[in-house]
Amino acid sequence: MSDVPLQRTNNVGKAGFDVFACLQSRSVSFILALVLVLLPLIIAPSWLFVLGICFANSLGVLSVSFLVRYGGEVSIGHSVFMAAGAYTIAILEKHFGVSIWISLPLAIAIGALLGIAFAWPSRKLSGIYLAVTTMALALALPEIIDAGDVWTGGYEGLYVSQWLLPFGQLNLQRYYFALVLLLAGAYVLMRLRQSRQGMAMLLVRTHPAAADAFGTRKVWARVSVMAISAALASTAGAGLAYASATVSPSSFTLWTSIFLLVGSVVSFYGLTLGRALIGGAFLTLVPQILASQGAWIPVLYGTALLAVILIGHHAPRIRQALERRRVERTVP
């Protein structure tokens, strides 16, 4: 899929409403951000916790979508990068008393370095081979965390208790911290898409021969895309750690990586705020809504996933058919 808003390809569809193009417009993103900023004024405090986690997951979805869009690859191991960010925040607070204002930049840098450390040895891998390699990292992660229980707290994990500011409510600080990280991630990707470097990365994936003719090295593009994606995932992990107030291996398993990929698919690999929130909501809010269904949760969740994918796939055709009928009725 292109990384630009969907375009209408015929006159019949020009009067139609393209929901995906709408979600990618700057004005809609600004209005959505404003609504999220004001949302705590009208919702119950219990929802602040859920929405904070939703924002962190949305940023994780963005990191996977960026890798798919600009790298053309699929990762089943992004939980590793999220864990790096989360445990950086938690360990520095627990053992060194470091403020989150200092540990957050370190978490982002560590995520980027891990992305480079992974991308360089695997720079010639692609497709299923790269996916399996990332999956191996995700499978090994919980045991690695447990082995370092002196620092990580083992399976009991660590608690993130510090305040961002010396005043205000802690639950609001957790909510706005995750929201600001999501907004910042969406803004950075928006600027990157408009930059020469972003266009060069995309050119390597879509037209390798043209990129090579312009002197853009494929290795540089692959390593850069993975580093940026890992940095975003690490930022998401930091947001998740602070929004949920806890860090444990159970939060960063293979299933975490799989669900991030599912969220990316549901958002149709979108790189804007609206699309990211769709993926994050599917990971966080849909299970909350289905929590009372007991054994039917997997069935209903799978049905919802299939319905969203089918609707997204057939929505443009349905819209065009409805517009064609409307035009035929209006034409004498």
CATH number, position 242: 1.10.3470
Q: For the chain, give the longest Cα–Cα distance.
A: 79
CB 192, CB 198: distance < 8 Å? yes
Q: Three-state DSSP class for 159?
A: strand
Task: With cut-offs at 50, 70 and 90, classify the pLDDT of residue 5.
Answer: very low
Q: Which domain holds residue 103?
A: 12-330
User: Which of these ranges, 4-13, 118-127, 155-164, 271-280, has the smallest mean pLDDT?
Assistant: 4-13
200-206 average pLDDT score: 85
User: Which of these ranges, 161-170, 229-238, 288-297, has the smallest mean pLDDT?
Assistant: 288-297
113: exposed, middle or buried (C-beta count within 10 Å: 0-12, 13-18, 19+)?
middle
Assigned domain for 1 exists: no
Task: With cut-offs at 50, 70 and 90, classify the pLDDT of residue 6.
Answer: very low
Across all residues in the chain, what is the average pLDDT?
85
pLDDT at 22: 53
- The CA-based dihedral angle spanning residues 198, 200, 202, 207, taken in that order and rounded to the nearest 10 degrees: 170
Assigned domain for 4 exists: no
Assigned domain for 46 exists: yes
Asked if residue 18 has pLDDT above 60, the reply is: no
User: Which of these ranges, 13-27, 60-74, 82-96, 173-187, has the smallest mean pLDDT?
Assistant: 13-27
Assigned domain for 227 exists: yes
Residue 305: alpha-carbon gap to chain centroid: 17
* C-alpha–C-alpha distance, residues 210 and 225, integer Å: 18
Assigned domain for 151 exists: yes
